Amino acid sequence: MQFANSFVSFISSIVSNMSTSSSSNISTPRDLYPPIEPYESGFLEVDNGKHKIYYEVSGNPNGKPAIFLHGGPGSGTSPSNRCFFDPKVYKIVLFDQRGSGKSLPFANLENNTVWDLVSDIEIVRNHVKVDKWLVFGGSWGSTLALAYSETHPDRVTELVLRGIFTLRKNELQWFYQEGASFIFPDAWDQYLAPIPENERHDLISAYNKRLCNDDPDKETERMIACKAWSIWEGTTSKLFPDPDFISKYEGDKFALAFARIENHYFANWSKWVNPEDKLIQDVHKIRHIPAVIIQGRYDLVCPIRTAYDLHKVWPEAEFVVIPDAGHSAFEPGIQKALLDYTDKYRGI
């Protein structure tokens, strides 16, 4: 009860500050670069052919290399991701992580860990003939960007990170057990709906039992759980919920990969990474790399606490807090900051 009361007071102060803030605190929008098509795309076999990952290259073939790491895990890339980079300057590389987007087998969990993905990034880098590149990642993409750069710091020229997520237990508990539920109780009820009362003390495990069960007789139950999990994140990802944005998370195909792969990672992270704050502890390996941490002040999916903790051990990284934004890369202030920094780093 003490937590709930203090949390209500905190939210009240947020609302008060937002209602009295001057127009100078409202972010100035900036358009993405115009849509472009890849000039190269295909599939790379990894894990002895058990997975085929989709990759694409667009922009300037002789330009500054950059790789975009998508979120989720499980969401896959989209054409708009290319548009965070000046196509006249950058050689833009996108790829769909194992089981995501166009990669095959779709929604597959076998040999699908953070270290498998780090290995895949190196396979992509070698295939597109890049020595070093700018690494761009938001949300889960920031997690993977940290894991990759701390493993291969000599392959990274700059880091553009957004909505920081390091999968510590308190981060997962906040969004999937108790915390964000106090701000979106109506959406939380829909998230709880597929789970019986007697299993709600550990919602990640309860969902794991349903999402990662491949029994054909459980297909309906699995799909209901996938949609509930996915819609919860889509609903809470923007400062002001956006029905068009949420509709992507409602789609059967998107929800299946997104929910299964996300939950698989969150349920098993502690088996792959030890200690749980390894990504923050290992920042000393990358403190020499030019970097920016861009964070929405009111990000409910990946609260600012994690970004702040990262910046405290990495003071060399620029820390940009967007005062009127939630989680999504397409919030006006976050989108502008991401574009500003890919522009800033294009000349380095």
Which member of 51, 264, 311, 327 is catalytic? 327
Nearest Cα to Cα of residue 272 among 74, 119, 103, 90: 119
What's the full length of the chain, in residues? 348
Contact 57, 81 (CB under 8 A): no
Question: For this structure, is 299 an active site residue?
Answer: yes
Question: For this structure, is 139 an active site residue?
Answer: yes
Which member of 75, 299, 324, 328 is catalytic? 299
Nearest Cα to Cα of residue 279 among 187, 143, 84: 143
Residue with token string 């202030």:
333
Largest interatomic CA distance in the chain: 59
Alpha carbons 145 and 118: distance in angstroms, whole number = 9
Q: Give the burial string for 254-287 (b: 16+ CB within 10 Å, else e).
A: bbbbbbbbbbbbbbbbeeebeebbbbbebbeebe
Which member of 58, 75, 100, 139 is catalytic? 139
Question: For this structure, is 327 an active site residue?
Answer: yes
Residues known to be catalytic = 139, 299, 327
